[in-house]
Amino acid sequence: MQATLAIALASLDQHSQRLAHIASSLAHATTPGYKRGVPASPPLVPAFAATVDAFDAAQAAGGAALQVRLDTRAGTLASTGQRLDLALEGEGFFEIATATGPAYTRQGDFHTDARGRLVTAQGDAVMGLGGEIVLSTRTPVIDAQGRVSEPDAQTPTAEPVGQLKIVHIDDPRSLERAGNGLLQSRGTVALEPQPRLRQGALEKSNVDVLHEMTELMSTLRHFESVQKAVQSYDEAMGTAVRKLGELS
């Protein structure tokens, strides 16, 4: 395949992937705790050489995937008044037990299941330092460190029934999406030394809609420019082939 077409088609593929990630961010602009993905292209010169040398192999494998990093910056907090809505201020993630192992989230719209366990919207258990957190009411008191208690009129200073497991991810680049607002980490995970939690609030998505719309328009313009370049190249090649045919 001509090197010019190889580079152009690789560029179109990356722009298509970038559009998909921008669309995903826009779709989750109102999802609590959602972290936007930041698509990143490889450096130009190495990418050019690698694309020319290995384009056919990459196409056979389904194309080269665009690198995407998660923007882990915190979103703003919004009060909801719901006792089981929890938001983290600053760093940290809630640990969730899933069928495939531990996962992590900032999406704190929790509830209780039929067994009284504190769970996510998908029914996965929210982990505490001592395991699953089981509640007898839906109106617990949760302090800034994640200690959970269930005081009532008879015992206004009830002992904690558990403490939320809030963890720190050393390298945000190790985080990968696991679906349903969950993340998995390939790096080191440790307890967050100074968690700061707010009960009755949710963290908003950190997606900036205006920024994403600007990126969307810019990516579309680049896509159209490359597409026109491919069409022009194809027309030029067609003209050259016809000229050669006339001369032969």
For the whole prediction, is pTM greater than 0.85?
Answer: no
CB 159 within 8 A of CB 143: no
Q: Would you state the pLDDT for residue 61?
A: 43
pLDDT single digits (tens) 202-226? 999 999 999 999 999 998 998 888 8
Alpha helices in the chain (DSSP H): 3-27, 44-60, 209-247
Distance of alpha carbon 46 from alpha carbon 205, whole angstroms: 35
DSSP 231: H
DSSP state of 229: H
Partners of residue 52 on adjacent β-strands: none
Give phi and psi for 103, each to the nearest 5.
-135, 170
pLDDT tens, position by position, 106-140? 999 999 999 999 999 999 999 999 999 999 988 89
Handedness of CA 166, 169, 172, 177 (dihedral sign): negative
Tokens 């050489």 locate to 49
- Which two structure tokens, joined as six digits, stand for 174? 């190790």
DSSP letter string, 144-166: TT-EEE---SS-TTPPPSEEB-E
**Among all chains, which residue has been given the structure tokens 């001369």?**
247
